[in-house]
Amino acid sequence: MPELVFFSGTMDCGKSTLALQIGHNRSARGLQGVIFTRDDRAGEGKLSSRLGLVTEAVEAGEGMDLYAYLVTRLSKGGKADYVIVDEAQFLAPDQIDQLARIVDELDMDVFAFGITTDFRTKLFPGSQRLIELADRVEQLQVEALCWCGARATHNARTVDGEMVVEGAQVVVGDVYRPAEKIGYEVLCRRHHRKRMTSAAAHAGALSPDVLPVNHA
């Protein structure tokens, strides 16, 4: 039976790489897929991995009806055996409903990839709807690591090198960005609560000893 599967995880845990691998494996068996994405780091209409792999995709813009897109494609003689959706957290809840309809009415597997919570630890509306509707929710096995070496569970946004917890939910950025730009970093819960990024931890390690020292 076709399924709606949600692959979730923090940033930097290999979601886009797995999406590309799933597409490759099915293409090698003669199957044709449709890849949707939204606000990919490589630009509009791209699905990219941090490993450097990039493929063309359909930009699932605001208000786009994904189910209607598939129906139109099929009615014009196009072929589609499965659907891959990257950056699914950015989709609207009604677009997630459309993905479920693709599974139920068009008998296609839909593989959605996305992060569950934003930099404020709040659920993205798209991810919340996927959790509510998906046949399966899979946690990716490749664990991203906090700078301290613990398992990273939270996404942090940085502005000018400092972690922020206020602002628009969606601001496109990436990990490993220069400090003067908007960037993201994955942290364990402990260091997310303390707002301690790798840069802050490094600065703290280099700070002089401010405790009084008894030279007597």
Q: Catalytic residue positions?
A: 87
Q: Which of 37, 41, 60 is nearest to 50 (CA)?
A: 41
Q: Count Cβ atoms within 10 A of the Cβ of residue 129 and give its class: 0-12 exposed, 13-18 middle, 19 or more buried.
A: buried
Helix 93-106 vs helix 66-75: angle between axes, to the nearest 10 degrees? 40
Q: Which helix (H) or strand (E) holds 19?
A: helix 15-28
Which of these, 33, 90, 13, 103, lies nearest to 59 by C-alpha position? 90
- Classify 99 as helix, strand or coil: helix
Distance CA 73, CA 1 (A): 22
